[in-house]
Amino acid sequence: MSVTADSLPWVPGAGASAGESAGEGGGAPCVVAYSVTNQETEPFTYTITFSLVDDQGRAMSSVEETVASVGAGRTVRRTLEHAGYPVDRSLDAEDVRILDVKRVPADEAPAPAGSCPPSGLRLTADKGDAAMGLRVVGLHLENCGSRPYSLEGYPVLQLLDEGLEPVEGIEILRGTDDIPMAGEGDEPPRPVTLQPGESAVSGLAWRNTTQFGEAVTVPYVRVRAEDGSAPVVVAPHLDLGTTGKLGVRAWEKDGTGSRGARPAS
């Protein structure tokens, strides 16, 4: 896998918005193009986080872009939007830093907003929250199909490393009672029926305490809504420290405060 960015002349009407003005220096307007090369043997979906900086190297804004289903051995080229960057300055490749690149198998990538996978269930993870060492990431399950969907219990998880291989030695707990500060008000599993357009929420909770031993970071999690469901690989970046534990909350109907998406008070 490789991701690179460079500057290209701006072509009026080409649909790119970055660098459409010449900027303070009066130079020729340009856009920033980036390319993603898939060096694997199967299609992957890539999510790239860019930082846009000023002429002193200070971060002005960040942009996250997803390039879906890049075929094996293929290179895909895109132009970069410059949301939050001053409109009176031209954006070129020197103003762009690649902060992070995540990749997941294309057939296990989360469905983008506004789309619905063949299963009729759209499973995603949010950006999470943190407080006093407690980390919480919400899992969201939307019934985007045409029929009711019923489930009860906990998401089924598999922890994956950078190479998308299973991570061993981490205890996945049903419930968060054993995660300090996370288990208050944790509810037991109850049947949930989602009508079309309704959603359920769960959550991952952990602490990043580091004591004796080697700290563990888990970049990816393969999630199934329940046993037998289609897998979705999300990238929540679990900095588990040396705790060796990850708590998962039971599914519950969304719209009741979404406990899975924020730390308990």
What pLDDT, in 10s, does the model give residues 104-133?
999 999 999 899 999 999 999 998 887 767
CB 204 within 8 A of CB 248: yes
Instruction: Report how far residue 139's alpha carbon sits from residue 75's, in angstroms, rounded to the nearest whole number.
Output: 31
pLDDT for position 257 = 41
Residue 261, classed as helix, strand or coil, is helix
pLDDT for position 258 = 41
* Residue 78: partners with Cβ closer than 8 Å, 6 or more residues away: 33, 34, 35, 36, 65, 67
pLDDT for position 12 = 35
| Region for residue 39 given its phi and psi (left: phi exceeds 0; alpha: psi -120 to 50; beta: otherwise) | alpha
pLDDT for position 264 = 28
**Higher confidence at residue 210 or residue 145?**
145
Taking residues 125-152, report their average pLDDT: 91
CB 21 within 8 A of CB 90: yes
Instruction: Report how far residue 108's alpha carbon sits from residue 126's, in angstroms, rounded to the nearest whole number.
Output: 17
* Average model confidence (pLDDT) across the chain: 83
pLDDT at 184 over 80: no
CB 207 within 8 A of CB 135: yes
pLDDT digits (tens, 9 = 90+) for 65-96: 999 999 999 999 998 876 666 666 667 788 88
Predicted confidence band at 25 (pLDDT cuts at 50, 70, 90)?
very low
**Higher confidence at residue 222 or residue 188?**
222
